[in-house]
């Protein structure tokens, strides 16, 4: 994705949610949504790839036990929520990570992207609480 398109999308998204420093978000590729770190990644080297990957970091899975891991893997295959992505475990931190990919991101408005990210964070967190019980 072209840098100008990515920057414009981030700028519009930040404006939609009231974040003033869009340049910092675009440079770092991170922002906080509902007290969660959200990463925004794109393939800057491929100008024709309009995919935006959205990563959300959740709490450690280590204290939940094997049953939680089983439920998490099953959720990736047979989703019970309106999530568009998948779950994994970060190899260095053992934290649960949720990833969703947006194709044709250049066609999104900043408000649409903000609403999508907020909804995915909310729904993923709710699901993880359910899986942990």
**Tell me: the pLDDT tens digits for 33-87?**
888 999 998 877 777 778 899 999 998 877 788 888 898 898 888 877 678 899 9
| Mean pLDDT (the chain, rounded) | 87
Query: Which of the listed ranges 19-23, 40-44, 67-71, 94-98 does the model predict with the highest average pLDDT?
Result: 94-98
123 pLDDT higher than 80: yes
* SS3 per-residue string spanning the chain: CCHHHHHHHHHHHHHHHCCCCHHHHHHHCEEEECCEEEEEEECCCCCCCCCEEEEEEEEECHHHCHHHHHHHHHHHHCCCCCCCCEEEECCCCCEEEEEEEECCHHHCCHHHHHHHHHHHHHHHHHHHHHHHC
Distance separating alpha carbons of residues 15 and 1, to the nearest angstrom: 21
Q: How many domains does the chain have?
A: 1
In CATH, what number is assigned to the domain containing residue 116? 3.30.1460.10
Retrieve residue 89's tokens: 């475990």
97 pLDDT higher than 90: yes
Structural domain containing residue 14: 3-132
Distance separating alpha carbons of residues 41 and 28, to the nearest angstrom: 10
Tell me the mean pLDDT in the region 119-133: 90
């Amino acid at each position: 994705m072209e840098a100008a398109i990515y920057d414009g999308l981030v700028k519009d998204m930040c404006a939609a949610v009231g974040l003033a420093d869009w340049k910092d978000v675009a440079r770092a590729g991170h922002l906080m949504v509902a007290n969660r770190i959200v990463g925004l990644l794109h393939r800057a080297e491929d100008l024709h790839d309009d995919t935006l990957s959205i990563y959300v970091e959740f709490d450690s899975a280590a204290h939940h036990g094997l049953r939680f891991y089983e439920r998490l893997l099953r959720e990736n295959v047979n989703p019970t929520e309106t999530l568009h992505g998948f779950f994994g475990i970060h190899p260095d931190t053992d934290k649960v990570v949720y990833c969703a990919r947006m194709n044709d991101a250049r066609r999104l408005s900043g408000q649409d992207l903000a609403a999508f990210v907020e909804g995915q964070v909310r729904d993923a967190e709710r699901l993880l609480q359910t899986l942990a019980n």
